[in-house]
Amino acid sequence: MEGEDGSESQQSRHPAGTLDPATQKRHAAMIDRLANLHQSRLQQSAARSASSAASPAFESVAAFLTRFDESGRAVEAEIKRCRDLSVDPASAPSLKPELEKVAASIADLDRLVAENSYFLPTYEVRSSLKAISVLKEALDAANSELLPRKKFSFRNKTSKKDPICLVKEIEEEKGPSSDKRVLAAVRDSPGFRNKEGSILIKHFRVSEEEEGDFTLSGLNCCEIYLKGRLRALFIHRLTNCRVYAGPVLGSILIEEVNDCLLMLASHQIRIHHATATDFYLQVRSRPIIEDCSAVRFAPYRLFYEGIDTELRDCGLGEETRNWANVDDFKWLRAVQSPNWSLIPDEELLGTVNVSDVKEQCEDK
Amino acid sequence: MGLLSIIRKIKKKEKEMRILMVGLDNSGKTTIVLKINGEDTSVISPTLGFNIKTIKYQKYSLNIWDVGGQKTIRSYWRNYFEQTDGLVWVVDSSDVRRLDDCRLELENLLKEERLAGASLLVFANKQDIQGALKPEDIVKVLNLDSMDKTRHWQIAGCSAYTGEGLLEGFDWLVQDIASRIYVLD
Ligand SMILES: Nc1nc2c(ncn2[C@@H]2O[C@H](COP(=O)(O)OP(=O)(O)OP(=O)(O)O)[C@@H](O)[C@H]2O)c(=O)[nH]1
Ligand SMILES: [Mg+2]
């Protein structure tokens, strides 16, 4: 590697003398550019290795795991050494700096995972974090057993109030006026709330600057149609509902839905506490589920006049196939989560055409 | 050379600040970090573990830890408390329903002894959304005025979507930390 550094050695490898002057010139210019590029790469990689030698990007799961294991074992050994050290009173003064070094090593393990997490599978990230967590607990335990008790800081004393008292105080200090304002704000935010057996239709026809959020909450046995673009959508406590919605520029947050069908398009979709629900999605990043069971996924199949343009304007025009790349935050293992599945072809809905659905038939 | 000896060679650089970004999931932490770093924000997944970014800001080097806020992984937050100079609490100002959750999580965080000295910047994010609560409202709902008087804190309305307010917020945070830590130069 070192031998390739200089531009001279590169130039000498080219038989430049046999070419016409114009070609020679272009050739020289190209070699110059390459040399510059090479030089800047070298500088970059030197800078990189100086600033993050502790966490090189391995880009290979096996190499990462080997390094992670080695480092993790080294930390364990260090903690053990500190414990051995503490037996001898003469080495007591060196104990604190030693333990601090262990803390630094653990912090670097954190960094190692963080900087490699972009290519690591979910499972490896989670299990590495778990391992680090265990090491931190071991260090905490060693700290509190081996070091003389730290003096409490002034601030700590003032905050050592009975937590129950603290909560009470906060509630009292919250004047009724502030409460009302917040509640008013809750009511004001646009949405369909607390309905049963209704058909709910909303068409957003606003300019980009006026885009807002919308909430669906406390709905039972309803059919909901949202046409047009939105910036954020909140869905909360739906039972036995069907929701067909146009593109959402930001994110959709879904909590506590059950026995529903949701057809949604958005940059991000987060699903918490859902059961027995089918999701037909178009989504730019990976959808995530947390505390869900029997949820199923399929691609978005909604149509109304203008939806293609709306999708494109929201950056949702391309099929990413991310509807099938669900991350389950409650499933630590590398094997498929039992909480979700894909909807089998024979059960898939065809395109749902909602062109004829108009706002005036609300609450039919 | 073993990893540990390599690690020890990397001394904490001068003028480095460690910033911890936390808040409920979906509040916009990752978007904020990428935006101030001038990176593409069009495809961001919910954060599964955490991301670290080192950003040059004025004459300081900010070491920003952006930790995922999904419920399952909030218990990992405490792994990142050590040596935090600045705490950024990000709020989705349009997610009114979860503001209670948001307040409780923040209260828990501020009880943490290891974060006692950290400056606190609260970002009332997503101000671009019609109907989002204003920063003044967020102060009330989160009860920020009744915080421990020794805490340095600031609220800043922002939109990670448009970028508005982000620099003002970080300016305050960096100045506040600098005035405490690098007061001698
Ligand atoms: N309208 C609007 N949307 C935003 C803003 N900031 C973030 N978002 C959207 O909110 C969603 C969540 O953003 P993230 O940055 O992933 O949130 P996070 O806090 O990192 O979430 P976790 O990693 O799960 O903790 C994304 O879809 C963003 O596009 C904003 O200022 N305005
Ligand atoms: Mg994130």
User: Does the beta carbon of B114 lie under 8 angstroms from any beta carbon of chain A?
Assistant: no
Nearest Cα residue to B120 out of B165, B87, B158: B87
Task: Compute the distance between CA of residue A116 and CA of residue A109 in angstroms, rounded to an integer.
Answer: 11
Rounded CA-CA distance B91/B24 in Å is 7
Judged by CB atoms within 8 Å, which residues 50-69 of B form the interface with A?
50-52, 54, 65
Best mutation site among A156, A267, A273, A313 for testing chain B: the one with the most B CBs within 10 Å?
Answer: A267
pLDDT of residue A33: 55
Best of B12, B55, B90, B130 to substitute, by most chain A Cβ atoms within 10 angstroms, is B130
Confidence of residue A46 (pLDDT cuts 50, 70, 90): low
pLDDT tens, A80-136? 999 888 888 788 788 888 998 999 899 889 888 888 877 777 778 888 888 898 899
Residue B148: both structure tokens together = 């421990």
Ligand 1 residue neighbourhood (C-beta within 6 Å): A 231-232, 250-251, 267-268; B 23, 25-31, 44, 46-47, 68-70, 90, 125-126, 128-129, 159-161
The CATH architecture assigned to A177-361 reads: 3 Solenoid (2.160)
User: Is A165 within 8 Å of B146 (Cβ atoms)?
Assistant: no
Q: Longest C-alpha distance within chain A, in Å?
A: 90
So where are chain A's domains?
Answer: 61-146, 177-361
Three-state DSSP at A57 gives coil
pLDDT at position A55 over 60 = no
The residue among A289, A280, A253 whose CA lies nearest residue A268 is A253
State the closest ligand 1 atom to the C-alpha of A266, by its place in the atom list counted from 1: 27
Q: A239, A259 in Cβ contact below 8 A?
A: yes
How many C-alpha atoms does B170 have within 13 Å on its Cβ side?
24
- Domain A61-146, what architecture? Up-down Bundle (1.20)
Compute, in degrees rounded to 10, the torsion defined by CA atoms A263, A269, A270, A271: 10
pLDDT greater at residue A60 or residue A10: A60
CA distance A334 to A342: 17
Cβ-contact A11, A31 below 8 angstroms: yes
CA distance readout (Å), B83 to A104, A132, B63, B74:
10, 17, 11, 19
Amino acid at B45: S
Residue in chain B nearest A217 by alpha carbon = B97
- Beta strand B60-67 with B16-22 is parallel
pLDDT, chain A, mean: 79
Residue B154's φ and ψ, nearest 5 degrees, are -155, 140
Interface confidence (ipTM) of the complex: 0.88
- A357 Cα to chain B: minimum distance (Å): 26
Q: Would you state the structure tokens that stand for residue B167, as one six-digit string?
A: 């620099």
CA atoms within 13 A on the CB side of A56: 14
> B162 a known binding residue?
no
Residue B62 has pLDDT above 70, yes or no: yes
Amino acid occupying residue B2: G
Among A322, A314, A312, A254, residue whose Cα is nearest residue A284: A322
The pTM of this model reads 0.76
Q: Which residues contact A307 (CB under 8 A, 6 or more apart)?
A: A227, A246, A247
Q: What is the rounded distance in angstroms from the CA atom of residue A281 to the CA atom of residue A284?
A: 10
H helix intervals, chain A: 7-12, 21-51, 61-87, 92-116, 122-146, 154-158, 163-173, 176-188, 307-313
Which pLDDT score, from 0 to 100, does residue A135 have?
92
Distance CA B172, CA B178 (A): 10
Binned at pLDDT 50, 70 and 90, residue A215 comes out as: very high
- Is 80 exceeded by the pLDDT of residue B13? no
As a whole number of angstroms, the distance between CA A303 and CA A336 comes to 32
Whole-angstrom Cα distance, residue A121 to residue A320?
Answer: 19
- In whole angstroms, give the CA distance from residue A354 to residue A223: 12
Separation CA B88–CA A230 (nearest Å): 28
Query: Using the beta-carbon criterion (under 8 Å), do A178 and B71 form an inter-chain contact?
Result: no
- B130 is annotated as an active-site residue: no
Please check the confidence at residue B120 and state whether its pLDDT lies above 80. yes
By C-alpha distance, which of B65, B69, B88, B56 is closest to B152?
B88
- CA-nearest of A99, A110, A119 to A54 is A110
Number of Cα atoms under 13 Å in the Cβ half of residue A148: 4
What phi and psi values does residue A183 have, to the nearest 5 degrees? -65, -40
Find tokens 């600031």 and name the residue: B154
Residue B148's pLDDT band, with cuts at 50, 70 and 90, is confident
Tokens representing B144 are 């920020």
